[in-house]
Homo-oligomer: A and B are copies of this chain.
Amino acid sequence: MGSAEPPVADGELQFIQHSAARTRVLDAALELFAVHGVSGTSLQMIADTVGITKAAVYHQFRTKNNVVLAVTERELGRLAPALQEAEAHGDESHARDALLVRVIEMAVRDRRLVRTLQFDPVVVRLLAEHEPFQRFMERMYRVLLGETGVDGRIQGAMLSGAISSAVMHPLVGDVDDDTLRAKLTDITRRLLDLPGDRR
């Protein structure tokens, strides 16, 4: 591992502070990923967006894959504090609700990024292959769903997709953030209460 690059996705996911230059690259990459997908985004496009050359990007990240990793890690890591708070919370039901609110908040605010983080094939493979990501998502679902039988897992899958889709779907492109957040929170809460009133 080179001296320029921080450890990538080993240990627990957390907030990671990047240098200004790296942050510019990651911001540009994320924005481009959202529009063209990861595979449809070249390092040249990223470099052009930042206003530097490819070589300068390679000074910050050894491979394109490391850019994808860093982006995914950074964005997922933004949920880490909310997750930790929820896990520390005494009341299970309140913890779930609090985390849900934070997840919806982030999804609504960063609508454009949701498709990339949840559905891009490259990111999906990353999430499946790297243990820290898996562990993080497991913790998320443990809080959001409680114990996970078949019903709970189907429910969780639907929930995650419903939230994602609700913020990125063309149907709701013109709905403002506040309205969307409110409706989404409301419907999601009811969805979680559906099968047998599990509260």
Interface positions of A (Cβ within 8 A of B): 34-40, 115, 119-122, 124, 128, 141, 148, 150-151, 153-166, 169-172, 175, 179-180, 183-184, 187, 190-191, 194-195
Contact = CB atoms under 8 A, between A and B. Distances in A.
A195 to B, nearest CB: 7
B121 A170 contact: no
B121 A187 contact: no
A86 B184 CA distance: 28
Q: How many copies altogether?
A: 2
A124 to B, nearest CB: 8
A159 to B, nearest CB: 8
Given A161-B165, A187-B194, A156 B170 contact: no
The residue in A124, A154, A155, A194 that gathers the most chain B C-beta atoms within 10 A of its C-beta is A154
A38 B39 CA distance: 8
Nearest to A148: B171
A158 B189 CA distance: 13
A122 B40 CA distance: 9
B119 A151 contact: no
16 contacts: A36-B39, A115-B119, A119-B119, A153-B175, A154-B175, A156-B169, A157-B166, A158-B162, A158-B163, A158-B165, A159-B162, A160-B165, A161-B165, A162-B165, A187-B195, A190-B194
A175 B172 CA distance: 31
Contacts of A160: 165, 169
A183 to B, nearest CB: 5
Given A158-B187, A180-B154, A184-B154, A36 B121 contact: yes
Nearest to A170: B128
Contact of A121 (B35, B150, B194, B195): B35
A164 B165 contact: yes
